[in-house]
Amino acid sequence: MQNLPFRQPGRFYRGNLHTHSTDSDGALSPAEVISAYRRNGYDFLAVTDHFRERFGFPITDTREFRDDEFTTILGAELHPPALENGEDWHILAVGLPLDFPPQGPDEDGPAISARARKAGAYVAIAHPHWYSATMNDARSISAAHGVEIFNQTCHMANDRGYGWYMADLLLSEGRRLTAIATDDAHSKDERPDMFGAWVMVKSEKLDPDSLLAALKAGSFYSSQGPMIHDIAISDDRSSVTVETSPVVSVQVCGRAQRTRDVHGRAITSCSLDLDRVQNDHFRVTVIDESGKRAWSNPIWLD
Ligand SMILES: [Zn+2]
Ligand SMILES: [Zn+2]
């Protein structure tokens, strides 16, 4: 269970992996958006401006905002042509070098995502539901480490913020992907999209390289509010114990209809049978009384 972060050394750091600034179409400057996240209890931020020609293919330089208590990861949102429906791709690349070359004239989604991964980035298929990406589209991004399974600004824009349906189908096809929740903050007054969803990354150090390594290793979970303190699988793999901040529902979600669920008041610890999951993968969702969720990464039992 190498992708379970809870028993690994270090501590959890809270961060948002998908953010825009005035270097593309965000309302706040890099300094302003970083200050806002910092004031609101975040440990790190990735400013990921739109990597488009009309913005000058920005890799926003946020290195000057790093110190002992807060850090940044460089990145961008890539927009090569094109989905099956003709829309430009939205591919999140967290951990790019400042000199990542602009998109080439013949570069498509699979090509630029592979180049981003090779350059060191954690690559995610961004908000697939928001713009009707298909399974064929998703399958083509073989360089992806993960899928954005919740995107706050998409959730507010068209109620298509979730990406779990596509992620679950890709997992069922054997892809070993992780799952990230993000704000995709543009920080505009008319759509307050900051501080809605984040990742909690377990790392020994608060620096970009350590955080990036933890992201690639799946050493994190995602949240809109609840905190997951532990997920422990019994030695015989027949059950899983979940410890969390108080929630009303805990769910195990495996392949197809293979699920288990527990409901109650202020649950902070519970065990669920894994009999239906067998030697396959599953993930854990917890839901608090206001409907806020936290999600584990997929866990493989083999
Ligand atoms: Zn996007
Ligand atoms: Zn975005």
Ordered alpha helix ranges (H), 80-202:
109-118, 135-140, 152-158, 164-172
Q: Is a pLDDT exceeding 80 seen at residue 2?
A: no
pLDDT band, very low/low/confident/very high, at 278 (cuts 50, 70, 90): confident
DSSP 185: B
> Which ligand neighbours the alpha carbon of 75 most closely?
2
Portion of the chain with pLDDT greater than 90, in percent:
96
In the reported structure, the alpha carbon of residue 120 is separated from the centroid of ligand 2 by a whole-number distance in angstroms of 20
Taking a C-beta distance cutoff of 8 angstroms, is the pair 59, 223 a contact?
Answer: no
pLDDT band, very low/low/confident/very high, at 10 (cuts 50, 70, 90): very high
pLDDT (mean) for 95-119? 97
DSSP 88: P
Q: What is the mean pLDDT of the chain?
A: 97
Residue listed under structure tokens 């009309």: 54
pLDDT (mean) for 259-286? 95
Would the CA dihedral through 63, 69, 70, 71 be positive or negative? positive
In the reported structure, the alpha carbon of residue 46 is separated from the centroid of ligand 2 by a whole-number distance in angstroms of 11
In the reported structure, the alpha carbon of residue 258 is separated from the centroid of ligand 2 by a whole-number distance in angstroms of 33
pLDDT (mean) for 177-198? 98
In the reported structure, the alpha carbon of residue 100 is separated from the centroid of ligand 1 by a whole-number distance in angstroms of 19
pLDDT (mean) for 31-53? 98
In the reported structure, the alpha carbon of residue 189 is separated from the centroid of ligand 1 by a whole-number distance in angstroms of 19
The structural domains of the chain, ordered by start, are 11-220 (3.20.20.140), 228-300 (2.60.40)
Residue listed under structure tokens 């179409």: 25
Write the pLDDT tens digit of every residue in 115-150: 999 999 999 999 999 999 999 999 999 999 999 999
DSSP 2: T
In the reported structure, the alpha carbon of residue 151 is separated from the centroid of ligand 1 by a whole-number distance in angstroms of 9
pTM over 0.95: yes
Ligand 1 (ion): residues with CB under 5 Å are: 90, 126
Taking a C-beta distance cutoff of 8 angstroms, is the pair 179, 147 a contact?
Answer: yes
Name the more confident of 276 and 252.
252
In the reported structure, the alpha carbon of residue 147 is separated from the centroid of ligand 2 by a whole-number distance in angstroms of 13
**For position 15, what pLDDT does the model report?**
98
